[in-house]
Amino acid sequence: MFEGQALRLTAVEDGIVELRFDRQKELVNKFDALTFGDFRQALAELAALPGLRGVLVTSAKDVFIAGADIFEFLPVFAQPEPQIAAWIGESCAVFNAFSDLPVPIVTAINGFALGGGLEMALASDFRVIAETAQIGLPETTLGIIPGFGGTARLPRLAGGAVALDWITSGAPRKARVAYEAGVVDTVVAPDALRAEALALLKSAIAGELDWRGRRATAHAGFELDAALVASARAGQARLAAHAPAASIAIELLVESASLTRDAAIQRENLAFARVARTPAAAALVGVFLADQAVRKKARALARTGKPVKRVAVMGAGAMGGGIAYVNALRGFPVVMQDIAQNKLELGLREVDRLLARQVAAGKLSAEKAATVRAAIEPTLDARKVADADIVIEAVNEDLGIKHRLLADIEPRVAPAAVLVSNTATLTIAELDAPLSRPENFAGMHFFNPAPVTPLVEVVQGPRTRAEALGTVVGHGSALGKTPIVVKDSPGFLVNRLLTVHLLAFCRLLRDGVDYARIDRVLEDWGWPTGPAAFCDSLGIDLLRYIVDAVSHAYGSRLLPDQAHALAVLDDAHRLGRKSGAGFWRYETDDAGRERRLPDDATQAALAPALAGSAIVITDEQIAERMILPLVIEAARALDEGLVETAAELDMAVMLGLGFPRFRGGPLRYSDSRGAAGIVASADLHEALGPLYQPGANLREMAAAGTVFFPI
């Protein structure tokens, strides 16, 4: 029978054929041009096979099918809509031909079946899933919609409510959830999967299961509740203009509910082509590819390091407690050491708070929480860190204090142990001065709150050796973070760009623009929170320190020319959420939920940072004044080699600062407008000062028409 490079056909018994996906020389199965070529040939074999009674679909990999090959998407998306629709239509025709084979089909889902992987399973009559597997349609998170028939098959199988939920959220679902939703027929232990799927197929062949009735339902229309549609539309309203994929999917389901399967798939082809041409699709597919590149680089770097078995956190408090929690949650025994009992207690309270929140949300059992808590050993005794493979220093941002701690700890640990500093602004070159083994020292900059923010900057000092760097990168990945290596410099990458962002915010405030309006404009632009709410969340005092430290390090180019808003609010003891008021005022309602409210006292508190009468400005100009400095400084940072690639820079800014993913990061956003457009807009704002003055490299790109991401 047929055997290709991506799949093969094998006779099982008495007219039953197994279609087994097994991409050669790859870790996972995926739908790309090669796989579709093999699939077409396999279908021709099946259609011509005399005595065919049933088809069993399986995977030889740990993952069933990961989905389509995203690397093939970008050149396709550059084509006009008719060509895209024709391309996706040809792919759908293969799935339809498979689904319409005149025999029952059962798919055994043994691992992740995402996107095209789930659509392959949906093209069969019955689905058996391993209890460890997960399935889903994540396309809207890439700025597109399911394109291999998912919007037509899922609602006809499991109903309109399930389709609305699964497609608009893009979230993967566990096996039991998929069973309860009616997407799969049976959940079994992994070692029983193939046998159960084969038994089910035999039942269908024997007429004990109505597979023909399933086919009829799959070709008919489906019900779609109007209230659910209205709710789904409302949930997508804020992002519909910028990231329209989910909204387009909702309207597609509404339009195709009364259609036959084939007519619905034709509608899907056209909708897919339309959404594929949106800027959000190009950006989000680019983000996916950048994420893959960053992860691949991290894996390669980790192979040069040593595995970490035991961790020490030096310096408790809220940040130290958060770092200890992150390590313990991932199974690492942690010694949390401090010289003050009250700091240890503060760190433990932070750990307990985080664990209680996880238990209350159903994400951790009480037993698991107790295990995590027991993995953290609080101590005043510095000798307890002796067995640590990595020591994370998280004390106050004071060079003298850090020097004394590092000099004291280095002799206590093994010569091969790696020391890292969680510094936010001090350079590794400054910090490694008292060390006798600076080659084993690096930066590991967690972002507040450490358990939530997915980024960790790994800072390579001037004397950090490759093995130590690889160890830190590997440990960052083991913690579930995305580690990105950055060059040693004041503020590193993210805090440097954060400083520029906040200086632009303070300049708008100085010009009399209301903080609430700025927050609204930036949130409408796609940020999760506006800059005022962001400052309140992290703490006005902390951000004042970062802005002052970083701006002074870069001299006149970044120095504000008068007292800025963060400084005057800090002096007024308006520190944000932790003090009850910053830019906004914070209250807790009767249900215990925190509410963010406008504060009439804010304007008076900001008076020392205001220049005079308020300017007249549009929302578009507010957004432009906030975004241009980020793009300009990002281009400078890349030119200076703070990170090696544009992909790493964009990922760091999205993960660390919340830059909208559907914009693709500051450099991909620059590409979407063209460097010439960025430079022209910056020149219009030249009077605002150095924040708005592009570097030579960005001007050269504008003149040459080049981009940061050629593909």
Catalytic-role residue among 219, 242, 403, 445: 445
Q: Please report where in the chains the tokens 């090669």 appear, as a residue.
A: 34
Cα 367 from chain centroid? 29
DSSP string, 58-107: EESSSSSB--B-GGGHHHHHTS-HHHHHHHHHHHHHHHHHHHT-SS-EEE
Residue showing tokens 């020149």: 683
**Bridge partner list, 393:** 314, 421
Rounded to an integer, what distance in angstroms lies between the CA atom of residue 579 and that of residue 591? 20
* Spatial contact of 223 and 257, defined as CB atoms under 8 Å apart: yes
Look-up of token digits 């703070």: 642
For 210, phi then psi, to 5°, come to -85, 80
**445 among known catalytic residues:** yes
SS3 442: strand
Token pair recorded at residue 104: 């029952």
Instruction: Rounding to the nearest 10 degrees, give the CA dihedral for residues 473, 474, 479, 480.
Output: 80
Q: What angle do CA 296, 300, 302 make, to 5 degrees?
A: 115
Q: Is 379 helix (H, G, I), strand (E, B) or coil?
A: strand
User: Helix 150-158 crosses helix 160-169 at what angle (to 10 degrees)?
Assistant: 140
Residue 31 CA to residue 501 CA, distance in Å, equals: 41
Query: Is the preceding peptide bond at 449 cis, omega within 30 degrees of 0?
Result: yes
No. of helices (H) and no. of strands (E), the chain:
30, 19
Q: Which two tokens stand for residue 692?
A: 């708005």
The residues assigned a catalytic role are 445
